[in-house]
């Protein structure tokens, strides 16, 4: 998989408030609850979209032995994580993404 392919795969993933993400490695189940737009002008002009995630369970597992699942996830990183299979995604609109 190259970056162009991965980016093209993320185009059809439209995240929405209320979507469910499942951390395949840690078993955590989260709900996307808030979408933040952050612009940082300090060094570079960063135009980021960040999702706030409410984890409805946080099972103790070897994967997250010392740190919980992240509460804030950058949108493009989340989409790429869905494409490569780290997270499973279930949209409130009924869409999902199946790893090829």
Q: Which domain holds residue 26?
A: 3-90
Q: Has residue 96 been placed in a domain? A: no
- pLDDT exceeds 70 at position 90: yes
DSSP-derived letter for residue 53 is E
Per-residue pLDDT band for 27 (boundaries 50, 70, 90) equals confident
Q: Has residue 32 been placed in a domain? A: yes
**The predicted structure's pLDDT at residue 95:** 82
44, HSE (Cβ side, Cα atoms, 13 Å): 3
C-beta neighbour count of 2 within 10 angstroms: 7
Q: How far apart are the first and last CA of the chain?
A: 11
pTM for this prediction: 0.80
**The predicted structure's pLDDT at residue 89:** 95
Specify the length of the chain in residues. 100
Q: Has residue 15 been placed in a domain? A: yes
Counting the structural domains of the chain, the total is: 1
Q: Rounded to the nearest 5°, which phi and psi values hold at 14? A: -110, 105
Q: Tell me which H or E stretch contains 91.
A: none
**The predicted structure's pLDDT at residue 45:** 63
**The predicted structure's pLDDT at residue 60:** 53
pLDDT in tens, 47-83: 789 999 998 876 555 555 555 567 899 999 999 999 9
Give the strands of the sheet with 20-23, arranged side by side.
Answer: 72-74, 46-57, 29-40, 20-23, 87-90
Percent of the chain with pLDDT over 90: 41
Q: Has residue 98 been placed in a domain? A: no
């Amino acid at each position: 998989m190259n970056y162009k392919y991965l980016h093209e795969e993320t185009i059809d993933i439209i995240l929405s408030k209320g979507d469910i993400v499942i951390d395949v490695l840690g078993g955590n189940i989260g709900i996307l609850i808030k979408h933040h737009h952050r612009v940082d002008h300090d060094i570079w002009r960063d135009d980021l979209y960040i999702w706030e995630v409410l984890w409805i369970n946080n099972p103790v597992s070897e994967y997250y032995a010392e740190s919980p699942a992240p509460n804030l996830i950058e949108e493009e990183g989340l989409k790429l994580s869905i494409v490569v299979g780290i997270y499973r995604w279930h949209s409130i609109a009924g869409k999902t993404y199946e790893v090829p």
